[in-house]
Chains A and B, each alone.
Chain A
Amino acid sequence: MMNMNRLIVFSRTFRIGQRLLGCHARHAGKEELRLQQRRSIKTHSRHLAYAKDLFLGQVNKAEVFPYPEIGNDELEEIKQLVAPVEKFFSDDVDSAKIDREATIPPETLQGLKDLGLFGIMIPEEYGGLGLSNTIYARLNEIIALDGSIAVTLAAHQAIGLKGILIAGNEAQKQKYLPKLASGEHIAAFCLTEPGSGSDAASIQTRATLSEDGKHYLINGSKIWISNGGMADIMTVFARTEVEVDGVKKDKISAFIVERAFGGITSGKPEDKLGIRGSNTCELSFDNVPVPVENVIGEIGGGFKIAMNILNSGRFSMGSSCAGMIKKLIELTSEYATTRKQFNKSLSEFGMIQEKFAMMALNAFVMESMAYLTSGMMDRPGIPDCSLEAAMVKVFSSEGGWICVSEALQVLGGLGYTKNYPFERFVRDCRILPIFEGTNEILRMYIALTGMQYAGKILTGKIKEMKKGNIGLAIGMVSKKLRASLGASVDLGLTGKDGVVHPSLEDSAKKLEQNVSLFGSTVESLLYRYGKTIVDEQLVLKRVADVLIHIYAMTAVLSRASRSISIGLRNHDHEVLLANTFCNDAFFKNNYWMVQLQKHSPENNDANIKKIAKQVLENRAYICSHPLERTY
């Protein structure tokens, strides 16, 4: 108890101190940053984003080189912030207990609130910390050490209150944000319904305008609502009748709903595999009266809001996973170096070494991708980084899962017991590829967004080719011939105006080759499938995978180049990691792109589809048992 009090006192004083100290400095820093960046706006258009251009076989190097930096004062701020949060998580958060009891103790929640972690990205004028995406990502590295807390906080601020933040009007912000920032109110995001995941058309919850026209009455139920049991403010999406061109249509609208409005009942918390401390439950709305002024944006505009919220919340998973893996490396390396077998420590065995190298590589790549993306998002203007954010999410959630399970493997049977935290990490980590848009859906998003962008530009050219334009065909053939004869592709990453450090030149060349081949692959895919590519999910999956790896290569090259240039500690290790990763990714990409060629023997898609079809038609594994006989 004593301890607790001291903590509260400590964190309060810290916050005050921070307020006093930090604010001025931050403001000054931001002014400076803005000035710098305003200059850069003029040099290139903000509408272009890096990933989309890759579909055309172009590297928009100005977007990603040099690696985004933060100002010194902002760095100071991070240092001030990170230390107490780290201390709090190592001293005051008992993750095992949270997992066991499936609830976050109130004093822990209070501690989080006191640290200001409920309002990291809420502007200061509404009582939040007003931090940038980059610092948010940095804090998430620490927060991710407890999956339950991370999910609770993410549901609160990455999606729960994001609607008010990005689309709410001034009055709504004034009314709701301060209490949300302090953690007095907790937010939740209510979109999913029993019959509707990503399908907006099957949302059944309905909001009808009351007779006096002052309220909307919301009816329906929502499932799998994180923080559903404890949320006071909810962003609820419901179907509303809207008149478009004289025709009445149902459109989705977003509402701010307070639990205090009445009529909201939350179900029993779900019993989950992982992130057990986070509260997930069903919410049902029975004639909940919502004042018309609580509509976010305009009525019928909920779809865009939902999409923006979902798209903007994903980038931080990269740093979360990286933070987790870094922690895992610490935990397991101690075991691997002390445990002896046959008079050798585990760390001397190649297969154990491989696991650590893989963890380090993954952490490095995730970090690079996450901070590159957050840096891009922090640039002024309204950058559309949803594609990049989705790529970070897919890569890190899958890499995280592999790393966690490999870390557990290092400990063998010990890792499988509850005496060690690894099994909890494995369970917690399993949610990552599922929530915030499943990886399958995100891959579709990544590939299709790019295909749409490239298709718009390439349609004319492809049509000419289909008509039989000889000039174009000869150009294509000669280009392919040159490429096959081994002519190097030069996209300007190295050389005279190069942005990549010479010690990474080989890797940069590989990236250029991949990008160029990717461009022609996309072109041929568009030529072959046109708009029906939407139905070619296995093709799209590979396109997305290639793109993710190209983006990852870019991120590590950019980051390592910067590290060498400014002489960061252990930058030689970074170069090693970057080169290793690029080499690995280069071959993977080539393999995938070979699979994407027509009549490629490496491509098993037709068989895969056939197998799945036969299995699914019978809803069972249909082979006869090997012990069966016919005579």
Chain B
Amino acid sequence: MKGSRCLHQLKSLRLLSHAGRLLPPAAGDNGALFRPRSSSQLGGLQCAQREVLRHFHSSPACTKGQPARFVQEEDKTRDKSLVTHDDLFEQVAKEAKTKATFNKVIDVYTKGDIRRRGHVEFIYAALKKMPEFGVEKDLTVYNKLLDVFPKEVFVPRNFIQRMFNHYPRQQECGVQVLEQMENYGIMPNIETKVLLVQIFGEKTHPMRKYQRIMYWFPKFKHVNPFPIPEQLPEDPVDLARFSLTRMANDWDAKVTVYQLPCTDVTESGAEVTLPHIVGIQSPGQMEALAKHNPDRPVFVEGPFPLWMRKTCVYYYVLRADPTPPEEKIEEPYDPERCLSYPLQLDLDLDRDLGDDESFDVEDLDEGPVFAMCMTSQGDQATLNQWISGLQESNPILGQIPTLFRLGAGPRELQGVGDADSASRSWFPSHVQREEAHPGEEAEAVVEEAEAVVEEAEAVVEEEPRRSQVVMTLGLRSDCGGNFVDSSHRLWSFSSGVSVKKAPDEVHHHALHPCIALMQCIGKFALLTQRSPTAAIAGPGCSHTGASSRLHQMQLQWIQ
């Protein structure tokens, strides 16, 4: 009996909330929006509800009939009610889209109706509008939004309520709030937890979601071994310096600014903008270049894209074809090399197979990369300036023929689902900023990333040798860029797996499919930091032996 009563109670409460959705469009000023009208127009409806409650015990048949009617009504009016809350925000947005106005709307709503009618719809509408108001990364706003939920009403009171999905729509809405926080990489705080406990109680879906977030977020927060700062340097030279160091991943590599950007006025009065040229080279690369056979040319290749969060920069490499096997000279063992101990043993015994712990990695010789540079103007004249700058520290460049193999542009690697990419000329600025909307694009991104991988592989097949480095780099950075958006898919994936497991188990079971997914998309093991952006520009990728190092790196991360 108790059970059936609470079921009825539940139904009637749902009715209440449905009733909220039947609110008419708020036409008036943003203050006192619903109150007068809703109270007057919905008067009859509320009466009906009261009737339901009243007649609850006496006439069950009646109550059976009622919900069906309401559901039908709801179906008709749902869109309308959503528009209601949207309109509320739209109206405010006419003034200014700021945190203050956003908060004001919430205040208006919470103070307007003591019963908080239609709060689920309101919260959905608010969630949708958050990016517009620029508050999508503000924890306090999320907390405020959660605060809209009435307290203690939805807390299950007995084991049956607890067992079944108590107030599913409200719970779902609560989960959605947390989901959006998750997507934007916002970590809930203790206030969020208190609110959730007050609204939904312990061990409810939103609480579980909260726990799951709190389990994974701290773990993933610093998981990226190559973190990108929240704020990238604004100055193009600084940005180039930062990106190059990041790609080279070599402590000894030295960044040289060959030219600072400046604007000159020539004698004829024309304004000439000199591009910045920033290069990087490590002592190891200098050594390799010094040993390069001057008869074989070196190539200046590019531009290759590099994604840094939502910013794309382009770089150029100075590389050579792999040394043909006949030119490779192995240094003969000199027994008079080490004064202290034999560097090699004169034995006819090899390592036992059982102790050979090396991985069977197929090394593809990609040819050495001798230096990298970034410039705002990728024409041959500018790059020539870079090469002549390099020549000062690498005199051998004077003897080696240098060929320029400059690509046309970033092609489809450039943007993810942005329709205006075609209209953007890609060169005029060194930096392109991509406005990605995670919530909207998350779905599409994964497929696109896969498509890019396929496409990249196809290119590799076409001209295998030349484009090895190129494609490795392109692929990586591109996927890094795509990951910006697809990472929350991974999030939801991992949390989806973990739903029914205790946190400890999750750690092992959920992580692996997660990584598998990452590998299948972009062959990266990497996830978000605080924000879901996780562009990877491959450290080490531009060096010799990139593929094997890449492989090792992946293995390490997976371990």
Given A451-B345, A630-B218, A631-B214, answer yes or no on A528-B338 (Cβ-Cβ < 8 Å).
Answer: no
Asked if A198 and B338 sit within 8 Å, CB to CB, the answer is yes
Stretch at the interface among A29-37, A62-70, A455-463: A455-463
Q: Give the number of chain B interface residues (Cβ < 8 Å).
A: 28
Q: How far is it, in angstroms, between the C-alpha of A244 and the C-alpha of B236 when the chains are bound? A: 57
Given A463-B349, A529-B355, A531-B344, answer yes or no on A306-B339 (Cβ-Cβ < 8 Å).
Answer: yes
Stretch at the interface among A174-182, A350-358, A437-445: A437-445
B348 within 8 A of A: yes
Q: Which residues of B contact A191 (CB under 8 A)?
A: 339
B284 within 8 A of A: no
Which residue on A lies nearest to B344, using beta carbons?
A: A534
Asked if A452 and B342 sit within 8 Å, CB to CB, the answer is yes
Q: How far is it, in angstroms, between the C-alpha of A444 and the C-alpha of B340 when the chains are bound? A: 8
**Which of A251, A442, A462, A598 has a CB less than 8 Å from the CB of B336?**
A251
Asked if A449 and B338 sit within 8 Å, CB to CB, the answer is no
A6 within 8 A of B: no
Q: Which residues of A contact B334 (CB under 8 A)?
A: 201
Contact with A along B331-365 (1 / 0, CB 8 A): 00010111111111111111110110000000000
Q: How far is it, in angstroms, between the C-alpha of A442 and the C-alpha of B187 when the chains are bound? A: 55
Q: How far is it, in angstroms, between the C-alpha of A375 and the C-alpha of B101 when the chains are bound? A: 95
**Which of B221, B337, B349 has a CB less than 8 Å from the CB of A455?**
B349
Asked if B336 and A200 sit within 8 Å, CB to CB, the answer is yes
Q: How far is it, in angstroms, between the C-alpha of A448 and the C-alpha of B189 when the chains are bound? A: 60
B217 within 8 A of A: yes
Interface residues of A in 189-238 (CB under 8 A from B): 191, 198-201
Q: Which residues of B contact A455 (CB under 8 A)?
A: 345, 347, 349
Candidate in B342, B346, B347, B355 with the most chain A CB atoms within 10 angstroms: B347
A171 within 8 A of B: no
B251 within 8 A of A: yes
Q: Which residues of A contact B189 (CB under 8 A)?
A: 631
How close is B79's CB to chain A, nearest CB, in angstroms?
39
B55 within 8 A of A: no
How close is B196's CB to chain A, nearest CB, in angstroms?
15
Q: Which residues of B contact A199 (CB under 8 A)?
A: 337-339
Given A310-B339, A445-B340, A449-B342, answer yes or no on A462-B221 (Cβ-Cβ < 8 Å).
Answer: no
Interface residues of A in 448-477 (CB under 8 A from B): 448-449, 451-452, 455-456, 459, 462-463, 466
How close is A468's CB to chain B, nearest CB, in angstroms?
13
**Which of A533, A598, A619, A631 has a CB less than 8 Å from the CB of B187?**
A631
Q: Which residues of A contact B342 (CB under 8 A)?
A: 448-449, 452, 534
Asked if B354 and A452 sit within 8 Å, CB to CB, the answer is no
B208 within 8 A of A: no
Q: How far is it, in angstroms, between the C-alpha of A466 and the C-alpha of B355 when the chains are bound? A: 13
Asked if A437 and B340 sit within 8 Å, CB to CB, the answer is yes
Interface residues of A in 493-535 (CB under 8 A from B): 526-534
A260 within 8 A of B: no
How close is A448's CB to chain B, nearest CB, in angstroms?
5
Q: How far is it, in angstroms, between the C-alpha of A466 and the C-alpha of B349 when the chains are bound? A: 10
A592 within 8 A of B: no
Q: How many A-B residue pairs have CB under 8 A?
A: 96
Asked if B345 and A200 sit within 8 Å, CB to CB, the answer is no
Interface residues of A in 597-628 (CB under 8 A from B): 598, 619, 624
Q: How far is it, in angstroms, between the C-alpha of A449 and the C-alpha of B343 when the chains are bound? A: 11
A391 within 8 A of B: no
B222 within 8 A of A: yes
Q: Which residues of A contact B339 (CB under 8 A)?
A: 191, 198-200, 303, 306-307, 310
A543 within 8 A of B: no
Q: How far is it, in angstroms, between the C-alpha of A534 and the C-alpha of B189 when the chains are bound? A: 55
Asked if B340 and A198 sit within 8 Å, CB to CB, the answer is yes
Q: Which residues of B contact A444 (CB under 8 A)?
A: 340-341
Asked if B348 and A459 sit within 8 Å, CB to CB, the answer is yes
Q: How far is it, in angstroms, between the C-alpha of A531 and the C-alpha of B352 when the chains are bound? A: 10
Given A449-B342, A452-B346, answer yes or no on A530-B351 (Cβ-Cβ < 8 Å).
Answer: yes
Asked if A598 and B355 sit within 8 Å, CB to CB, the answer is yes
Given A445-B341, A529-B355, A534-B343, answer yes or no on A252-B349 (Cβ-Cβ < 8 Å).
Answer: no
Which residue on A lies nearest to B354, using beta carbons?
A: A528
Asked if A528 and B355 sit within 8 Å, CB to CB, the answer is yes
Q: Which residues of A contact B349 (CB under 8 A)?
A: 455, 459, 462-463, 526-527, 530-531
Which residue on B lies nearest to A300, using beta carbons?
A: B336
Q: Which residues of A contact B222 (CB under 8 A)?
A: 624, 630
Asked if B341 and A448 sit within 8 Å, CB to CB, the answer is yes
Given A528-B351, A528-B355, A631-B187, answer yes or no on A200-B346 (Cβ-Cβ < 8 Å).
Answer: no
Asked if B336 and A532 sit within 8 Å, CB to CB, the answer is no
**Which of B251, B345, B348 has a CB less than 8 Å from the CB of A619?**
B251
Which residue on A lies nearest to B189, using beta carbons?
A: A631
How close is A223's CB to chain B, nearest CB, in angstroms?
15
Q: Which residues of A contact B217 (CB under 8 A)?
A: 630-631
Asked if A533 and B345 sit within 8 Å, CB to CB, the answer is yes
Q: Which residues of B contact A200 (CB under 8 A)?
A: 336-339
Q: Which residues of A contact B187 (CB under 8 A)?
A: 631
Contact with A along B41-66 (1 / 0, CB 8 A): 00000000000000000000000000
Candidate in A191, A441, A532 with the most chain B CB atoms within 10 angstroms: A532
Asked if A459 and B355 sit within 8 Å, CB to CB, the answer is no
How close is B156's CB to chain A, nearest CB, in angstroms?
27
Given A448-B345, A630-B222, A631-B214, answer yes or no on A532-B337 (Cβ-Cβ < 8 Å).
Answer: no
Q: How far is it, in angstroms, between the C-alpha of A272 and the C-alpha of B67 when the chains are bound? A: 93
Which residue on B lies nearest to A441, using beta carbons?
A: B340
Which residue on A lies nearest to B251, using beta carbons?
A: A619
**Which of A303, A306, A441, A631 has a CB less than 8 Å from the CB of B341?**
A441
Q: Which residues of A contact B346 (CB under 8 A)?
A: 452, 456, 531
Q: How far is it, in angstroms, between the C-alpha of A197 and the C-alpha of B221 when the chains are bound? A: 45
Q: How far is it, in angstroms, between the C-alpha of A452 and the C-alpha of B351 when the chains are bound? A: 15
Q: Which residues of B contact A201 (CB under 8 A)?
A: 334, 337
Q: Which residues of B contact A619 (CB under 8 A)?
A: 251
Which residue on B lies nearest to A613, using beta carbons?
A: B556
How close is B336's CB to chain A, nearest CB, in angstroms?
4
Which residue on B lies nearest to A460, using beta carbons?
A: B348
How close is A605's CB to chain B, nearest CB, in angstroms?
12
**Which of B214, B340, B343, B350 has a CB less than 8 Å from the CB of A532?**
B350
How close is B316's CB to chain A, nearest CB, in angstroms?
27
How close is B90's CB to chain A, nearest CB, in angstroms?
35
Which residue on A lies nearest to B222, using beta carbons?
A: A630
Q: How far is it, in angstroms, between the C-alpha of A442 and the C-alpha of B350 when the chains are bound? A: 24
Q: How far is it, in angstroms, between the C-alpha of A630 and the C-alpha of B185 when the chains are bound? A: 13
Asked if A452 and B337 sit within 8 Å, CB to CB, the answer is no
Q: Which residues of B contact A462 (CB under 8 A)?
A: 349
How close is B399's CB to chain A, nearest CB, in angstroms?
24
Contact with B along A31-59 (1 / 0, CB 8 A): 00000000000000000000000000000
Q: How far is it, in angstroms, between the C-alpha of A451 and the C-alpha of B346 when the chains are bound? A: 10
Which residue on B lies nearest to A624, using beta carbons?
A: B222
Q: Which residues of B contact A527 (CB under 8 A)?
A: 349, 352
Which residue on A lies nearest to B349, using beta carbons?
A: A530
Asked if B221 and A530 sit within 8 Å, CB to CB, the answer is no
Which residue on A lies nearest to B335, using beta carbons?
A: A303
Interface residues of B in 274-302 (CB under 8 A from A): none
Interface residues of B in 342-400 (CB under 8 A from A): 342-352, 354-355
Asked if A532 and B341 sit within 8 Å, CB to CB, the answer is no
How close is B481's CB to chain A, nearest CB, in angstroms?
26
Q: Which residues of B contact A251 (CB under 8 A)?
A: 336
Q: Closest 10 A-B residue pairs measured CB to CB?
A: A530-B349, A630-B218, A445-B341, A303-B336, A455-B347, A444-B341, A531-B347, A198-B340, A441-B340, A531-B345
Q: List 21 A-B contacts (CB under 8 A).
A: A198-B341, A199-B338, A200-B337, A251-B336, A252-B336, A306-B339, A444-B341, A448-B345, A451-B345, A452-B345, A462-B349, A526-B347, A526-B349, A527-B349, A530-B347, A531-B349, A532-B350, A533-B345, A624-B222, A631-B214, A631-B218
Given A441-B341, A534-B343, 10 further pairs, Cβ under 8 A: A199-B338, A200-B337, A303-B339, A306-B339, A437-B340, A528-B351, A528-B354, A532-B350, A598-B354, A619-B251
